[in-house]
């Protein structure tokens, strides 16, 4: 395993944030290229950030910019696991590293949720979420017999962002803050 790919990603995202943090569309466009390079290879993710839980999906912090302009997270989905319907309130990029995910998109008008389509995400592909690109979805591991892993980049420290989950029947929202499932972050300055 070589952490160099993650270090390069962090450095490139930091440079991008230095130039473009006030322009979410520039962050999304530039971030897609940077995340695309990271997920093009599957030889860099630390072992702790690949461990599924028997009952719940996991959100492992890989890096958070010191100014909380962006964060990089490994999402690990056990067989058949899924999120509740939720939003992000900030821009985000979802890059598929291993396995496959199914994303059900929703639109909210008043208190009503309407399904707006389903997309499959395969290794190497990237999906965009944001208040301007469609921010409400439910994500599920497409496999019932193995784990899937996606790498997410968000325009904030996503573990501290106040967001919402939604009731599928009523459309009513309930606030939440996700936090993280990891006690450590990788040493991106390792000589590996």
Q: What is the pLDDT along the chain (192 residues), one digit of tens a residue?
A: 789 999 999 999 999 999 999 999 999 999 999 999 999 999 999 999 999 999 999 999 999 999 999 999 999 999 999 999 999 999 999 999 999 999 999 998 888 999 999 999 999 999 999 999 999 999 999 999 999 999 999 999 999 999 999 999 999 999 999 999 999 999 999 866
Q: Alpha-carbon distance 140 to 83, whole Å? A: 6
Query: Is 41:9 a contact under the CB 8 Å cutoff?
Result: no
DSSP assignment of 163-185 equals EEEE-TTT--EEEE----S-S--
Nearest to 128 by CA among 32, 30, 20: 32
Beta bridge partners of 72: 63, 153
**pTM higher than 0.85:** yes
Residue 124 maps to a domain? yes
pLDDT at 111: 82
SS3 37: helix
Q: Alpha-carbon distance 71 to 68, whole Å? A: 7
Residue 27 maps to a domain? yes
- Could you tell me the CATH number of the domain that includes residue 127? 2.60.120.10
Domain encompassing residue 87:
4-176
pLDDT at 109: 87
Residue 187 maps to a domain? no
Residue 184 maps to a domain? no
SS3 1: coil
pLDDT at 192: 66
SS3 46: coil
pLDDT at 170: 92
Residue 181 maps to a domain? no
Residue 191 maps to a domain? no
Residue 61 maps to a domain? yes
Residue 186 maps to a domain? no
Q: Number of folded domains in the chain?
A: 1
């Amino acid at each position: 395993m070589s952490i160099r790919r993650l270090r390069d990603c962090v450095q490139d995202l930091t440079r991008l944030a230095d130039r473009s943090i006030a322009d979410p569309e520039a962050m999304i466009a530039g971030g897609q290229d940077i995340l695309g390079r990271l997920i093009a290879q599957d030889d860099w993710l630390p072992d702790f950030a690949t461990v599924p839980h028997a009952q719940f999906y996991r959100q492992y912090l890989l890096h958070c910019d010191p100014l909380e302009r962006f964060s990089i997270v490994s999402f690990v989905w056990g067989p058949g696991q899924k999120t509740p319907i939720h939003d992000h309130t900030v821009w985000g990029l979802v890059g598929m590293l291993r396995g496959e995910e199914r994303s059900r998109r929703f639109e909210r008008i008043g208190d009503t949720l309407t399904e707006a389509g389903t997309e499959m995400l395969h290794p190497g592909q990237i999906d965009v979420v944001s208040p301007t690109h469609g921010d409400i979805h439910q994500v599920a591991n497409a496999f019932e017999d193995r784990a899937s892993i996606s790498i997410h980049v968000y325009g904030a420290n996503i573990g501290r962002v106040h967001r919402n989950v939604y009731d599928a029947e009523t459309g009513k929202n309930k606030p939440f803050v996700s936090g993280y499932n990891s006690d450590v972050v990788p040493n991106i300055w390792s000589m590996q």
